[in-house]
Amino acid sequence: MVKMRSLFTLMLLGFVTAASATVINFSYSGVPNCDPNSCTDELTGSFAFADTPLSVDLADLTAFSFTDTLSYTNLPATFTVTRSLADLQSFTATLDEEQNLLTLSFKSDDINDQIGGVELTYTAAAGAQVVHCSVIEGKDGPIEGCGLLSTGPLVTSNSVPEPSIIPLLVIGLGIAGFGFGGIGYERMKGRRGARSLI
Q: Closest Cα partner for 43 from 157, 159, 154?
A: 154
Q: Which residue has the higher pLDDT, 38 or 90?
A: 90
**Range with the poorest average pLDDT among 89-98, 111-120, 163-172:** 163-172
Clarify whether residues 61 and 144 are in a common domain.
yes
Clarify whether residues 189 and 110 are in a common domain.
no
Quote the percentage of the chain above a pLDDT of 70.
58
pLDDT in tens, 147-190: 778 888 999 999 887 655 555 555 555 555 545 455 555 555 55
pTM over 0.75: no
Clarify whether residues 152 and 183 are in a common domain.
no
Clarify whether residues 36 and 62 are in a common domain.
yes
CA–CA gap between residue 158 and residue 99 (Å, rounded): 7
Report the C-alpha dihedral over residues 138, 141, 146, 151, rounded to 10 degrees: -10
Domain span including residue 108 = 22-159
Number of domains in the chain: 2
Sign of CA dihedral 130, 131, 133, 138: positive
Report the C-alpha dihedral over residues 82, 88, 91, 93, rounded to 10 degrees: 30
**Hey, which of 2-16, 21-35, 70-84, 131-145 has the most confident mean pLDDT?**
21-35
Clarify whether residues 144 and 79 are in a common domain.
yes
Clarify whether residues 46 and 122 are in a common domain.
yes
Biggest CA–CA distance in the chain, Å, is 101
CA–CA gap between residue 118 and residue 99 (Å, rounded): 25
Clarify whether residues 29 and 15 are in a common domain.
no
Taking residues 131-138, what's their average pLDDT? Answer: 67
Clarify whether residues 71 and 128 are in a common domain.
yes
pLDDT in tens, 33-80: 765 567 888 999 999 999 999 999 999 999 999 999 888 777 767 778
pLDDT of residue 126: 87
pLDDT band at 12 (very low <50, low <70, confident <90, very high): very low
pLDDT band at 18 (very low <50, low <70, confident <90, very high): very low
Clarify whether residues 138 and 153 are in a common domain.
yes
